Chains A and B, each alone.
Chain A
Amino acid sequence: MTTLSVRGLHVELDRKMIVNNIELEVSVGQWVCIIGPNGAGKSSLLKSLAGIIPSTGKILIDGSNVRELSERDRACWIAYVAQEPVMPAGMRVFDYVLLGRTAHLKMLATESPKDLEIAHYVISELDLDNFIDRDVATLSGGERQRVAIARALTQASPIILLDEPTTALDVGYQQEVLELIDRLRKEKKIAVISTMHDLTVSGLYPDRLLLLAEGNVVVSGSAESVLTPENIAKHYGAKVTVITHESGPVVIPERSK
């Protein structure tokens, strides 16, 4: 069973501390969600795990050091879906999904029939068959997320990082994408680390929440233990009521009288 362990992770940009002393452990099949106010360092944390921005501290997969891996090997372990994935104009959905095989190809190689087969498999699995010839730049927000997730799945990495996968989506697409991620992590045994904006939504699917404030993890644990009016007042500066519902805690901002 693959486990990602993060020990004392530290990110600095222009000599300013962005993320400080993060401890995190995720195994395949689990979903950890990072929440926190704007500017808390959520995206930076994810990007440092993806290798996009430099960081210090340990990032281990089953005990071996991720930093020693080449770009390709790292990508075989960790896939990343950006908050707003770049959708190059004129690229077909199929070609875009196929890009996910890059990690498994030598730099100057082209795809084998097996790579094409994997892309087709993921596409049908995500019900994107009717989209394969569409230009990715013409897709709606929800379709883009699904296509980007398809690309990450084609990468076949046991760990997937998702930066605010539902922020730009209306409630219908939001539910669809979250259900999809939840099904995939269970069926395919994938470890998911996501950031999320909407507190109520963040309590629905993930196993654990990490509340980040000014780069530090201030609270972590189950949705019930993290999403309390006290925590939210302290770190978001918001006055909220939290209602317990069978799906999870419901966070409602209070209107001032």
Chain B
Amino acid sequence: MRTATARKITPFAWVIGAVAVLLTLTLGVSIGAVSLAPLTIWSEISSNLFGTVSNSTGSESTIIWQLRLPRVLLAFVVGAMLASAGCAYQGTFRNPLADPYLLGVSAGAGLGATIAIFNGSGSSRILLPLAAFAGALGAVILTYSLGRSAIAGRSSTALILAGVAVASLLTAIQTLLQQQNTDKIREIYAWVLGRLSTSGWNDLAIITPYILVCIIILLRYRRVLDVFAVGDEEALTMGLPVARARGAIIVAASLGTAAAVAVTGLIGFVGIIVPHILRLIVGNSYRILLPLSIIYGGVFLVLADILARTILAPQEISIGVVTALLGAPFFLFVLGSSKNGSVT
């Protein structure tokens, strides 16, 4: 008799993932106005972590530890969150086009954060992510209920159209607020385009706890995401409390997205690009897709950040622009291959 086991990531894939993470992190830290050798980087990191002797000079040490490493790690954490949120939305909405950006979640978080900034809470390290979260959750609920009740039914196209409408509306409100508060427009503008902050370890320290919790929650739902694949009706008769499970997944994905957006601004398409490339390679099971989206979402955003820093060096392009340049054509490709929204 032939046997099979439940889907899970092979040890080989874990090793590849770990190597990819270490390579891109090293690359991210090494590339810049001053190029740094991998050995120098790791000896500096090791000296900070374990108190070993570093062979880097004083200025190299500052560049590595104070400037590049926190930025590269921030890119990794945010990329991991956006990709896993996209992956989770795709599973629970049964929609290959779902992405925090396209569902209006990012715009909602953006509006929430903008309101917080204008009310002078922008400097509050706790209020800002919470305001962003409230906006994100409101947006995803609005998008989902609009997409559901649309005449076109619950096709993937209807959901995305609703998301685009919600995103436009929220962005318009945000612009309106901006125009009434022109003194802060620069701050907001930079934020809207998406940027990886250079404020050292602070930003990373604020959002990592939120993101870590959200990612762990989403990971625990990886089997449930596979159950969603058979549709709400059949999933319900198989014993899945559909509404409750979907609610928990949406809250976790939106909270994580909001935390990321609160610090980095709007970075789109990561949640589509990464899970979809992975789908082509490893198939559609979320037990594999979700963990790999975390790993390669991080890797992807670190690489995108390297591009943003180097293409027009010494000028920097907004990272949101880079992901959009890469992601928009990709989105059209996925749209074309998803057979006219055949997924309910």
A residues within 8 Å of B by Cβ?
47, 50-52, 70-76, 78-80, 82, 85-86, 88-92, 94-96, 98-100, 102-105, 107-111, 116, 120, 124, 129-130, 132-133, 151, 155
Contacts and interface: CB of A to CB of B under 8 A. Distances in A.
Contacts of B1: 120, 124, 129
> 6 tightest CB-CB pairs across the interface, nearest first?
A75-B239, A103-B239, A90-B284, A88-B229, A80-B237, A72-B239
B241 A70 contact: yes
The interface centre, meaning the residue of B220, B221, B229 with most chain A CB atoms within 10 A of its CB, is B229
Contact of A130 (B2, B227, B285): B2
B34 interface: no
A95 B285 contact: yes
B277 interface: no
A211 B4 CA distance: 43
B184 interface: no
B237 A75 contact: yes
Interface of B: 1-7, 220-221, 223-224, 226-227, 229-231, 233-242, 245, 279, 283-285, 287, 344
Nearest to B4: A94
Given A90-B284, A102-B227, A108-B220, A116 B2 contact: no
Contacts of A71: 236, 239-242
A92 B237 contact: no
Contacts of A155: 238-239
A52 B227 CA distance: 16
Given A72-B241, A103-B239, 7 more contacts: A71-B242, A89-B284, A92-B4, A95-B285, A103-B238, A116-B5, A129-B2
A208 to B, nearest CB: 23
Contacts of A99: 226-227, 230, 238
A169 B190 CA distance: 60
A102 B3 contact: no
A102 B239 contact: yes
Nearest to A121: B1
A99 B231 CA distance: 12
Given A90-B283, A124-B1, A78 B234 contact: no
B284 A88 contact: yes
Nearest to A113: B5
A75 B238 contact: yes
Nearest to A79: B237
A105 B224 CA distance: 11
A104 B234 CA distance: 16
The interface centre, meaning the residue of A71, A92, A105, A124 with most chain B CB atoms within 10 A of its CB, is A71
Contacts of A151: 238
A91 B285 contact: yes
A116 B237 contact: no
Contacts of B240: 71, 102, 107
Contact of A50 (B4, B231, B237, B241): B237
Given A75-B238, A102-B239, A120 B3 contact: yes
A99 B236 CA distance: 12
B155 to A, nearest CB: 14
A148 to B, nearest CB: 9
Contact of A95 (B3, B226, B241): B226
Contacts of A50: 236-237
Nearest to B94: A88
Nearest to B224: A107
A50 B241 CA distance: 13
Nearest to B7: A95
Contacts of A91: 226, 229, 284-285
A94 B8 CA distance: 13
A86 B230 contact: yes
B88 to A, nearest CB: 14
A78 B234 CA distance: 12
29 contacts: A50-B236, A50-B237, A71-B236, A71-B239, A71-B240, A73-B239, A75-B237, A75-B239, A76-B239, A79-B237, A79-B238, A90-B279, A90-B283, A91-B226, A91-B229, A91-B285, A95-B7, A99-B226, A99-B227, A99-B230, A99-B238, A102-B238, A102-B240, A104-B239, A108-B223, A108-B224, A110-B223, A132-B2, A155-B239
Contact of B234 (A82, A120, A124, A132): A82
A111 B6 contact: yes
